[in-house]
Amino acid sequence: MCYCTMASLLFMAAAASAAALAGRDYPTSDPLSACPGYSASHVKTTSSGLTAALTLAGEGCNVYGTDLKDLILEVSYDTDSRLHVKIQDAANDVYQVPEVYLPRPKSGGSNKHKSAFKFDYVKKPFSFSVSRSDSKEVIFDTSAASLIFESQYLRLRTKLPESPNLYGLGEHSDSFRLNTTDYIRTIWAQDAYGVPEGANLYGSHPVYYELRDSKAHGVFFLNSNGMDIKINNTPESGQYLEYNTLGGVLDFYFLAGPSMIKASQQYAEVVGLPTEMPYWGLGFHNCRYGYRDAFEVAEVVYNYSQAAIPLETMWTDIDYMYLRRTFSLDPERYSLASMRGLVDYLHDHDQHYIMMVDPNIAYQDFPGSLHRGLEENVFLLRDNGSVYKGVVWPGVAAFPDWFAENTTKFWVNEFSIFFDKDTGVDIDALWIDINEPANLNCNFPCDNPDESAIGFTPEPPPVRSPPRPLPGFPCEFQPEGCDGAETRSLEVIRDSKPPAFFPHLTRADAPAKGQRLGLPGRDLLYPKYAIHNKAANQDDWNSDKGGLSNRTVNTDVLHQNGLAEYDVHNLYGSMMSDTSYDAMLARRPTDRPLIITRSTFSGAGRKVGHWLGDNVATWEQYRLAMRSMMTFASMYQVPMVGADVCGFVNNTTEQLCARWTALGAFASFYRVHNDFDFIPQELYRWPATTASAKKNIATRYRLLDYLYTAMHKQSVDGTPVMNPMMFLYPSDPNTAGLELQYFFGPGLLVAPVTEEDATSVDVYLPDDVFYDWYTHKRIEGAGKSITVKDQGWTDIPLFLRGGVVFPVRTEGAMTTKELRTKPFELIVAIGKDGKAAGELYHDDGISVQQKGTTEIRFSYTKGVLRVSGSFGYTGETIRLSKVTFLGLGKKEHGKCAVEVAGKTVEGDVDAEKDTVTVDVDRDLTSEFTIRVD
């Protein structure tokens, strides 16, 4: 959440669009063409890889820094499907991504004879290539341009085939399949209000995937420095992809696939598997920035119940804070008594509550967090030893140093105080924001934050008493109030400003040599190479005008362990995520933390989910939600992801919001949220959104265990919970660029109406069998589009992929706890080959350590459905009510004999729909078969 004017939003969007459209020329006659490259020597080969010395092959060109003379090449066949290639400085000084954040996978587990890849190199000028061992196809070839390794600039270029299918390199709002001409992807985390196209956004994911002739591979560049990745096709150079980074080392993991799914799984092996989410977290969530007091929050909860829309979780933005200060409550509008009463009400009704926590700590005596942090020396410091201060929502603020020795202790303690279940606000999960980090109102160099902060913190709304009765809520929410209650007052707040200096604070020493903490002598504020960071007023200001530091923490700030913000800026949000995960786990040691963050780096999914930022209520950004969600879930291994339903910025419309409500029901993270400057958009506000919510949440909840099973599977082996079309149909070239339809889980095709005022949508169906979710009608895909007509505002086309068994609940419910009492139905969607398979995972939905789980496999072939697996869950009953077979080919309407676990029963045949339904009414506690001949 970030506040900007609409004028500034439109300006940023226009500037970004102009940048995206402007032609870019990368001439070979620039100063870099004189760079000599390197020569390889002292090559040592082992069964699992090789090492070599790389020496500058001539006089350095020193264009954007000083050319390093001596480098080391390390090549490791990590696994049969993963090759690791790293080029670093021989002195081991150059910064590398700390293993405290991203532990490296085990190396050297394979050899060149077993590996799917073959590594080749040329000694002088040094270049290397990676090819497939079986087909000899080259997937990466750095002979396209000389290697440059300077103190503040690295360049590596690889050749590509013409018009390649490239994906990833986020976070961005550009097309799902990347543009391949005059295109720059900049990676530098920024507060990107309106999530414009052609801009760097909140997260940093320097991994790309390429699909070639139905085979796929991935390339992960483990580097957290700011960078431009240029993709272009010129007569002189042909098609290429080029890395241009401000530092770090050249650390590559090549992922062999050969499918997109396999490549994504292999990426998860490097960055870590996603964390397991609680079952309830997959329910429907509501939030709004601008709820004026606890009464309004409670009234929204009440209104959802009156509208019979299932609300699983209520959220509160920074409105609850006293003057926007983290770890504080506004005692007049969000008193502790009212907040505890709200949480108790939600918990009593099997619902949940989430609050936002920002990283910035107000530079004020109240609420005490600043002084506790100062005592522990946990904040970023300037070179004079004073606290580095920016301007965020509370005004002047300090920023935690997530690398400092005591920061985790400090953060855990603040959570234990503020969110104490007995004396604080007992939240169930956490929302963290503006952790790029954002410095909202103090542009570079931010030398006078006190002046910049004047008038920035919004004035809170007028205090009021509860304006009307709120049935079922405690006395704090009633007009008559509570007998004997303490008067809510600001008098208890000691609101004064601490001194500017504290003598016990000392800035970190310069980085120690040989520890990968960064080269000395660099210009950390004004690098000579200007990346295309859109937080700067214009692109070339990212060099000599300090644009890298604009609207964020200055890049010359050193962390307590000696690391420079210049190098670790892109890690700030994920380091906060990791620390917050520890804090939430300390509060409830047996429960899985659910944390939703804005800024992410590779590997963030190990601890958190992601919402897609401050989007706009437009049809274009409704469509954007699909491609962004697909990319995070399927390629970045962040499966808990979704956009703000109906849009955060601008006034939505009833039509757009109804459509988006339907679409959002088929995201892993499903939340409506918007800004106080615009009309409220809770889903009960319009008839169409109310109808859309009831209809589509019911469908989502029927499918919730199917989704939960897919989420669990991704946490175990990296199988994506969301699948772009080409993930499942890589041999069909027509699927390579599809971004307006996708698979929810392994088999539910979601294809929404995407244009305003439209009542139909063209849906591409590959050569396969599909079934309409609503009617069960069989549809033969033929590698072309079909038109789905008569789609009202509340409708969304859904198709069951043939060959998949879907475990679904027989009906929805008002809460996920109630949902878990509903029996199951199996929908057996028989494929072209006459077979179908599926899975169901079941546990208690919350515990980190499970006492017992049930993992069931469903397999259908030749008229027999087999139910097998392990049945260790001993909680509520898991009951199978009925099974519906689709596509059996029964020609006569009526009854048929079906054998269930050895007993013959009657099944109902609908010859027109080609379905057979049989009542089973059996607990899923052991293996059995169903025969339907």
Active site residues per annotation: 433, 436, 614
- Residue whose entry in the numeric block shows the structure tokens 């309106």: 194
For the record, the structure tokens of 579 come out as 């620390």
Report how far residue 459's alpha carbon sits from residue 465's, in angstroms, rounded to the nearest whole number: 18
Q: Which of 222, 196, 238, 291 has the alpha carbon at shortest distance from 82? A: 222
Q: Cα angle at 418 between 591 and 463, to 5 degrees?
A: 125
What DSSP letter does each residue of 552-591 carry, written as one string? S--TTPBPTTS-BHHHHGGGHHHHHHHHHHHHHHHHSTTB
Indicate the residue type of 386.
Answer: S
CA 418, 420, 425, 428 dihedral sign is positive
**Which three-class secondary structure state does DSSP give residue 322?**
helix
153-186 CB burial, b ≥16 within 10 A, e <16: bbbbbbbbeeebbbbbbbbbbbebbbebebbbbb
Residue 108: how many other CB atoms lie within 10 Å: 14
**Sheet of strand 778-780: strand arrangement:** 722-724, 742-744, 748-750, 798-801, 769-772, 778-780
Report how far residue 638's alpha carbon sits from residue 666's, in angstroms, rounded to the nearest whole number: 16
Terminal-to-terminal C-alpha distance of the chain: 57
Report how far residue 484's alpha carbon sits from residue 461's, in angstroms, rounded to the nearest whole number: 26
Q: Which of 139, 119, 141, 157 has the alpha carbon at shortest distance from 213? A: 139
Q: Distance of CA 408 to CAs 415, 583, 919, Å?
A: 11, 8, 54
DSSP designation for 178? P
Q: Which of 698, 803, 673 has the alpha carbon at shortest distance from 290? A: 673
Q: Which of 79, 35, 495, 16 has the alpha carbon at shortest distance from 265? A: 79
Q: Are 264 and 220 in contact (CB under 8 A)?
A: no
**Which three-class secondary structure state does DSSP give residue 174?**
coil
**Sheet of strand 238-245: strand arrangement:** 148-150, 153-159, 238-245, 227-234, 183-187
Helices (H) and strands (E) in the chain, counts: 15, 46
- Residue whose entry in the numeric block shows the structure tokens 């920023």: 399
What residues contact 216, with CB distance under 8 A and at least 6 apart? 209, 210, 257, 258, 259, 260, 262, 263, 730
Counting Cβ atoms within 10 Å, is residue 289 exposed (0-12), middle (13-18) or buried (19+)? Answer: buried
What residues contact 261, with CB distance under 8 A and at least 6 apart? 719, 720, 723, 727
Q: Are 119 and 112 in contact (CB under 8 A)?
A: yes
Report how far residue 309's alpha carbon sits from residue 832's, in angstroms, rounded to the nearest whole number: 38
Report how far residue 661's alpha carbon sits from residue 657's, in angstroms, rounded to the nearest whole number: 6
**Which three-class secondary structure state does DSSP give residue 490?**
coil
